[in-house]
Structure 1
Amino acid sequence: MIETVFRTEDVPRPDRFDYWRELMSRTHAPLDLASEHSADFRAHQRTLRFGAVTVWPTAFHPMTIRRTPGLIRRSDPEVFHLSLVLQGHAEAEWGHREAVYRPRDWATNDSSRPGTFRTRAPMGHGNDVFRSVGIEMPKDLLSIPRDRADQVIGLPMSAREGIGALLAGALTQLAKDAGAYRESDGPRVATVLADLVSALFAHTLEAGEDLAPETHRRTLILRIRDFIGRHLHDPELSPGAIAAAHHISVSYLHRLFQEDGVTVSAWIRRQRLERARQALADPALRTVPVHHIAARWGFTHHSAFTRAFRAAFGLAPSDYRDRTLRAPA
C-alpha cells in the first residue's frame, strides 16, 4: 500500500483552488472545477493505492465538478469511480438524467461519460465541508460484463445494509488501518475490493448470474465472515446456523473454508479469542471479571476458554491481562 496526503493548507491561500484543481486532474482525470469558496479553498485528501485500485478519504469545500467530452478526448483512464457520501449531499447530471446522493449512499461515475457532479455541505451543522470516501478501479477489474456495469452508473446505491454496507465497512477499515498493509498486500486487497464492487453492481441489477463463479465464492466468504463477526457473542453460532442464514448447505460452507485452509469452527474460535484478547487489554474493562469477558464472546465454559486462550497466546487470560495492563515501573 502506498499512501499520499494532500492538503490545500500546504500552499498559499491564493493558490489553493488551482492547486486542488491540478491535483484532481492529475490523480484522477482531467476535470473542470468551480467553487464559491475558491478564494480560500479548504480540502484534505489521503490517497491509498492498493495495486491498481485507489481508495481516498476526502473532505473539501463544496464545488462543482464537470467532465466534458473534450476532457474525455484529452485523457480517459477507463475507470469506475464510487464515492460513499459521509457528510453533506451530492447532485449529478448526465444529459437528461439526474440523481441525488445523501449520507450513506454510494455515488457512481464513469471516466468515459460526460457529466456534472455538485457537492453540498450539510445545513445548520456549523461544518461547511463535504466528506466522502472514494474508490477508483479500472473497468477491466470488474467481473460483471461491461454493458451490465454501465447500467449501474448514476444509480444511488445504499451503504446501509447488504453488500453496500460490506463495501463501506471494507473502505472504512482500510482508511483506518492503512499503516497495517504492506505494498505486497496491494494486489490482494484490490481483488477483494473488485469482487465487492462487482457484487454490488450485480445486486443492484439483480443480475447475480452475471458474476464469475470465483467472484461469487469470494464474495460469499466475505459475507459469511462479516456475519460471523456480528454474531460472535451468540453461543448458538454454529456451522448449521451460518449455512441457514446464507441459504447454503453445511457441507458447502465447510468446503468454502477448507479452500482457504481453515475450518469454520477454527475461524469462529480464533475470532472470539481475538475479541476477548482485545477486551482483556482494555484498561476501561480492567474490573470486568475474566469469565464475563469470555461469556461476552460466546465461550460458555470458562475452563475451555482458558485452555484455548493459553494455546493461542501463550498465557492464561488473567496472566495476559496482568502483563498487558501492568503499570510501568
Structure 2
Amino acid sequence: MLPETVFTTRDLPASDRFEAWTEQLGRTHAPMHLSSERAADYRGHQRVIGLGEVTVWPATFDHLVFHRTPRLVRQSDPEVFHLSLLRHGDAAASWGRQQVGYGVSDFHVNCSSRSYEISTGSQPVTIIGVEIPRTAVGVPVRRADDVVGRRISGRTGMGALLAGLLVQLTSDTSSYRAADAERLGTVVGDLVTAVFAHALEAEPRLPPETHARTLMLRIKSFVRQHLVDAHLTPVKIAEAHHISRSYLYRLFQEEGLTVASYVRGQRLAGALRDLTDPAARTVPIHVIAARWGFPRPGDFTRAFRSVHGGTPSEVRERALCRPDMDGAHTAVDAARRTTPGSHGDH
C-alpha cells in the first residue's frame, strides 16, 4: 500500500480538537492562523498520502477560516503550491484586492509563499488537497505564480483529468504498492504542470516528456469514454488527438502496451463489472458482450477466459449465485486486479 496516515479529531477530547486540527494543517501545508465558528467541538478528518515529493490529502472538516500572514510567510515557507479540489461545500479566498469564490468541482490554487485568507461555507466541506514543490511544476516560477488565485474547473479539459486522477487515487489506495508512490507523484506533478500551462495558455512550452505523459492520460481517458463505440480504432483515436498512428503506437509501446491490448483490456474490465453486478444479473451475456464491443459471443468468451481464467458464465455464477458465502467474490476480485490496464493510467 501507499504510505498513508490518518488524523481525526474524534479521537481527542472536544476541548483539544481545534488546536490539534490547526497544528495538523500547519504540518500538512504551512503554518496558519485558523478560526472557526465550531471551534468548541471541531470535527475534521484527514488522510495524508505520500507520493515522493508530492503529498495528496483528502479531508472533510467543519467551517474554517485560514489566514496566512506575511509574518508567517517570513517565518516558515516550505515553498509549495497547494491545489484543493472542492468535492462538497463552498469556499472563497482573497489575496488583498483579489477575491475568488469556489464551488463543487472547482480547483483552488494557492502558494505558501504568499499571504492569503480562505473561508469555507457554514456547512462541512470535503476537499482533495495537493502539496507540490514549486520547483516540481514544469512552468517558469514567475509564470506559475500567475495561476495562484484562479478558479480552475475540474469538470473539463486538463482540470477534469487531474480531478479524475485524484478521485480515483484517493478512493482506494490498497491496490497500489509502496514502490508506486514515486511514479504516482510524477504523474500528479505532470498533470499539475499541464493544468498550470493550460491556464496560462503556455502548453507548447512544456517539456517533451511531460507532453507525452499528459497526452497518454488524455488518450486513455478518451478510450474509456468511447469503449462502446464499435468503430474505436487506432485511426479514430489518433485523429481525435491530432497525432499520427505511428506516434500513437509509439506512445503505447513506451508503456509496454499496444493500442489494441489496452482497448481490449478496458472493454473486458467493463464487461466484468456488468457480469458481477447484481442489478444486471438478468441481462444476457451476449448483450453485455455486444455492449462492450464484442459482437461475436465466441470471440468474447475466448478473450474473457484468457484474462479471467474462466468463462463469462462461470465468473458470473461465482460472483452472483453465492453472495452469502465468505470469499464468494475472491475470484472476481482477483480477476479485477489482473485486468490489463485496470491501473495502467497511473
Q: Same fold judged by TM-score > 0.5?
A: yes
C-alpha distance in 1 between matches for 2:280 and 2:37: 49
Structure 1 CA distance for aligned equivalents of residues 299 and 13 of structure 2: 62
**What is the letter of the counterpart of residue 51 of structure 1?**
G
CA distance in 2, matches of 1:88, 1:277: 35
Cα distance per residue 1:131-186 (max 9 Å; x no partner): 21111111121112212211111110001111101111111111111122221111
Equivalenced residue count is 323
- Within-5 A mapping of 1:191-270: 191-270=186-265
What is the CA–CA distance in structure 2 between the aligned matches of 1:186 and 1:135, rounded to whole Å?
14
Residue in 2 aligned with 1:125?
A: none
Cross-structure match for 1:45: 46
Aligned AA (1:90): A
SS of corresponding position for 1:180: coil
In structure 1, stretches of 5+ residues that fail to align are: 122-127
What are the ranges of 5 or more consecutive residues in structure 2 without an aligned counterpart?
327-346
CA deviation after TM superposition for structure 1 residue 105, in Å: 0.8
Q: 2:170 aligns to what?
A: 175
Q: Secondary structure at the match of 1:179?
A: coil
| Equivalent in the alignment of 1:296 | 291
Instruction: Work out whether residues 89 and 102 of structure 1, in 8 Å CA contact, stay in contact via their aligned partners in 2.
Output: yes
Residue pair 1:145, 1:210 contacting (<8 A) in 2 also: no
Measure, in 2, the Cα distance between the counterparts of 1:232 and 1:16.
Answer: 48
Could you say which residue in structure 1 is the equivalent of 2:182? 187
Following superposition of structure 1 onto structure 2, how do residues 110-121 of structure 1 map, counting pairs within 5 Å?
Answer: 110-121=111-122
Question: Contact 1:85 / 1:106 at 8 angstroms: preserved in 2?
Answer: yes
Deviations 1:87-135 (A, max 9, x none): 22211111222111111110010011111111113xxxxxx21221111
What is the TM-score when the length of structure 1 is the normalising length? 0.95
Answer whether contact 2:100 2:151 (CA < 8 A) is retained. yes
8 Å contact from structure 1 (residues 279, 285) kept in 2? yes
Please give the secondary structure, in 1, of the residue aligned with 2:45. strand
Does structure 1 residue 16 correspond to structure 2 residue 11? no
Deviation at 1:325, TM superposition (A): 3.0
* Other structure's SS at 1:287 match: coil
CA-CA distance at 1:259 after TM superposition: 1.5
Taking structure 2 as the reference length, what is the TM-score of the superposition? 0.90
* Separation in structure 1 between the aligned mates of residue 18 and residue 231 of structure 2, nearest angstrom: 56
Deviates more, 1:313-322 or 1:99-108: 313-322
Runs of 4+ with deviation above 4 angstroms: none
Distance 1:312 1:23 in 2: 45
* C-alpha distance in structure 2 between counterparts of 1:159 and 1:184, whole Å: 28
Amino acid at match of 1:177: D
State the SS of the aligned residue for 2:174. helix
Shift of 1:53: 1.2
> How far, CA to CA, are the matches of 2:128 and 2:63 in structure 1?
15
3-state SS, counterpart of residue 274 of structure 2:
helix
Comparing 209-218 with 172-181, which one deviates more in the overlay?
A: 172-181
State the 1:41 CA deviation. Answer: 1.3
Deviates more, 1:275-284 or 1:168-177: 275-284
Matches within 5 A, 1:7-156: 7-121=8-122, 128-156=123-151
3-state SS of the aligned residue for 1:5?
A: strand
Shift of 1:227: 0.7
Output the CA distance in 1 between the equivalents of 2:126 and 2:307. Answer: 40
CA distance in 2 between partners of 1:99 and 1:247 (Å)? 35
Which residue among 309, 322, 325 is the counterpart of 1:314? 309
Contact 2:84 2:128 in 1 (8 A): yes
CA contact 1:144–1:212 (8 Å) conserved in 2: no
Match in the other structure for 1:271: 266
Structure-2 separation of matches of 1:283 and 1:263: 33
SS of equivalent to 1:181: coil
Does structure 1 residue 158 correspond to structure 2 residue 144? no
- Is the Cα–Cα contact under 8 Å of residues 29 and 82 in structure 2 kept in the other structure? no
Separation in 2, partners of 1:183, 1:249: 36
Q: 1:134 & 1:43 partners in 2: Cα distance?
A: 14
Post-superposition CA distance 1:272-321 (Å, at most 9, x none): 11211222222322221111111111112111111111222222211222
Opposite residue 108 of structure 2, the aligned amino acid is A
